[in-house]
């Protein structure tokens, strides 16, 4: 078999039986992790048994600087089963950076990744359909919530408002898709060239392109522990998403500026006419209204522009987006790697 044929064969194999890495960010999740880790392992084992993914697949937990016993739980899991592995960030950097750290780590070893939250809210069994879509040729498969029946009306209204606001402001995101998605190694390799510090992954992946599809699933309630995304954080994420993906807010300010300037001209003409008619004492209230309105507009405009200047400032510094302080699991242990190498070497010799 020549080199080209060998390459083709291995590409076909990685499409038919890919090596999957699940990327699971965890921040102070000691209550929920012992429950959901079993669900992740069952899902992986069932996919391996069905021959849909390779046995070298892994479940990678990314500890995002937790202050509880999350990391100790991950370490214990990695000693128990070779499919569990973990990396730990040197401090809490937020959900998006934790997912990125996991994806960049996985890129070296796998054919596909599936990122999912560790609280069991997203239907884990939807992974079967995601892998199926990959096998049919998709490079990115978005997990989309088909309904939000289990959310309170407030969470539902704010979350759906969030997507609509993003859309109006020019940030292209898949409606009702959060961070549950399958991404192939090919896409990750291209994505690694996106070096931005302000991360909004669900808006960045559609920008990379490639063939994509969606898989619909029901969203459940958190199995244990509390949400880390209260309203304030969600608004911050929405604002981050808009300002890191689009400059439409600045354009809106410019348009508003033109509109206000137009009405100012009318105002000037009106005041000059009033002056010549001898009516200048009147109009104090309208004067105050216009001053307040313009003052407010100017401050909002400055704030939005300041946000972009701040973002530019953060980007030019090129600080690392994550720092991995520890790793745990069979794949990182030197003996294991040596054994794997020896095994594959002797297998190759046998084949020869």
CA angle 339–345–349, rounded 5-degree value: 145
Q: Does 228 bind ligand UDP (CB under 6 A)?
A: yes
Q: Does 135 bind ligand UDP (CB under 6 A)?
A: no
Radius of gyration for the chain, computed over Cα atoms and rounded to the nearest angstrom? 26
How many Å apart are CA 141 and CA 131, to the nearest integer? 8
How many Å apart are CA 23 and CA 117, to the nearest integer? 8
According to DSSP, the residues that pair with 182 across neighbouring strands are 114, 141
Which residue lies nearer to ligand UDP by CB, 153 or 276? 153
Please identify which residue in 109, 162, 210, 229 interacts with ligand UDP, judged by CB under 6 A: 229
Q: Does 180 bind ligand UDP (CB under 6 A)?
A: no
Residue whose tokens read 């030197």 = 334
Q: Does 121 bind ligand UDP (CB under 6 A)?
A: yes
Q: Does 325 bind ligand UDP (CB under 6 A)?
A: no
Which residue lies nearer to ligand UDP by CB, 28 or 243? 28
CA angle 81–83–85, rounded 5-degree value: 90
Sites for Mg ion among residues 4-63 (CB under 5 A):
none
In DSSP notation, 159-219 reads HHHHHHHHHHTT----TTEEEEEEEEHHHHHHHTT---SS--HHHHHHHH-SSEEEEEEEB
Residue whose tokens read 């997203």 = 122
Shortest distance, position 111 Cβ to ligand UDP, whole Å: 24
Partner whose footprint covers residue 228, from Mg ion, ligand UDP, none (CB < 5 to 8 Å by kind): ligand UDP
Helices (H), the chain: 3-16, 33-49, 70-80, 95-106, 126-135, 153-168, 185-191, 201-208, 231-245, 248-277, 284-317, 334-351
Stretch that binds Mg ion, among 120-128, 142-150, 170-178, 337-345 (CB under 5 A): 120-128
Q: Does 98 bind ligand UDP (CB under 6 A)?
A: yes
Stretch that binds Mg ion, among 15-23, 34-42, 115-123, 258-266 (CB under 5 A): 115-123
Q: Does 122 bind ligand UDP (CB under 6 A)?
A: no
Partner whose footprint covers residue 94, from Mg ion, ligand UDP, none (CB < 5 to 8 Å by kind): ligand UDP
Which residue lies nearer to Mg ion by CB, 225 or 267? 225
How many Å apart are CA 23 and CA 127, to the nearest integer? 12
Which residue's C-beta sits nearest to ligand UDP?
227
Sites for ligand UDP among residues 10-29 (CB under 6 A):
25-27, 29
Which residue lies nearer to Mg ion by CB, 115 or 121? 121
Please identify which residue in 64, 105, 111, 119 interacts with Mg ion, judged by CB under 5 A: 119
Which residue lies nearer to ligand UDP by CB, 17 or 238? 238
Shortest distance, position 83 Cβ to Mg ion, whole Å: 23
CA-closest candidate to residue 66, choices 118, 116, 107, 21: 118
Tokens representing 41? 């392992």
Q: Does 241 bind ligand UDP (CB under 6 A)?
A: no
Give the binding-site size for ligand UDP (rule: CB under 6 A).
16
Partner whose footprint covers residue 118, from ligand UDP, Mg ion, none (CB < 5 to 8 Å by kind): ligand UDP
Partner whose footprint covers residue 95, from ligand UDP, Mg ion, none (CB < 5 to 8 Å by kind): ligand UDP
- Identify whether the C-beta of residue 203 lies closer than 8 Å to the C-beta of residue 171: yes
Binding site for Mg ion (CB under 5 A): 117, 119, 121
């Amino acid at each position: 078999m020549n080199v080209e044929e060998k390459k083709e064969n291995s590409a076909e194999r990685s499409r038919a039986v890919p090596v999957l890495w699940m990327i699971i960010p965890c921040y102070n999740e000691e209550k929920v992790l012992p429950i959901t880790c079993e669900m992740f392992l069952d899902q992986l084992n069932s996919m391996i048994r069905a021959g849909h993914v390779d046995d070298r697949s892994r479940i990678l937990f990314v500890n995002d600087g937790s202050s509880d016993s999350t990391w100790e739980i991950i370490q214990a899991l990695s000693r128990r089963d070779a499919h569990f592995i973990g990396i730990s960030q040197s401090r809490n950097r937020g959900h998006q950076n934790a997912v990125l750290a996991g994806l960049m780590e996985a890129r070296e070893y796998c054919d596909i990744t599936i990122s999912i939250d560790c609280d069991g809210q997203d239907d884990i069994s939807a992974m079967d359909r995601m892998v199926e879509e990959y096998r049919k040729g998709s490079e990115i498969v978005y997990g989309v919530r088909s309904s939000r029946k289990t959310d309170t009306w407030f969470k539902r209204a704010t979350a759906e408002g969030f997507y609509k606001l993003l859309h109006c402001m020019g940030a292209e995101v898949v409606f009702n898709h959060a961070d549950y998605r399958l991404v192939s190694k090919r896409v990750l390799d291209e994505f690694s060239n996106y070096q931005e510090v302000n991360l909004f992954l669900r808006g960045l992946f559609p920008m990379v392109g490639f063939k994509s599809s969606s898989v619909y699933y029901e969203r459940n309630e958190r199995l244990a522990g509390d949400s880390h995304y209260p309203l304030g954080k969600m608004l911050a994420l929405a604002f981050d998403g808009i300002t890191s993906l689009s400059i439409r807010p600045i354009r809106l300010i410019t348009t508003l500026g033109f509109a206000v300037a137009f009405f100012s001209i009318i105002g000037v003409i009106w005041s000059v006419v009033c002056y010549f008619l001898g009516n200048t004492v009147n109009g104090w209230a309208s004067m105050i209204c216009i001053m307040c309105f313009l003052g407010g507009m100017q401050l909002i405009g400055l704030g939005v522009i300041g946000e972009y200047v701040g973002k530019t400032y953060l980007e030019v510094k090129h600080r690392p987006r994550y720092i991995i302080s520890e790793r745990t699991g069979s794949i990182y242990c030197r003996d294991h790697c040596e054994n794997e190498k020896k095994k594959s070497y002797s297998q190759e010799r046998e084949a020869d």
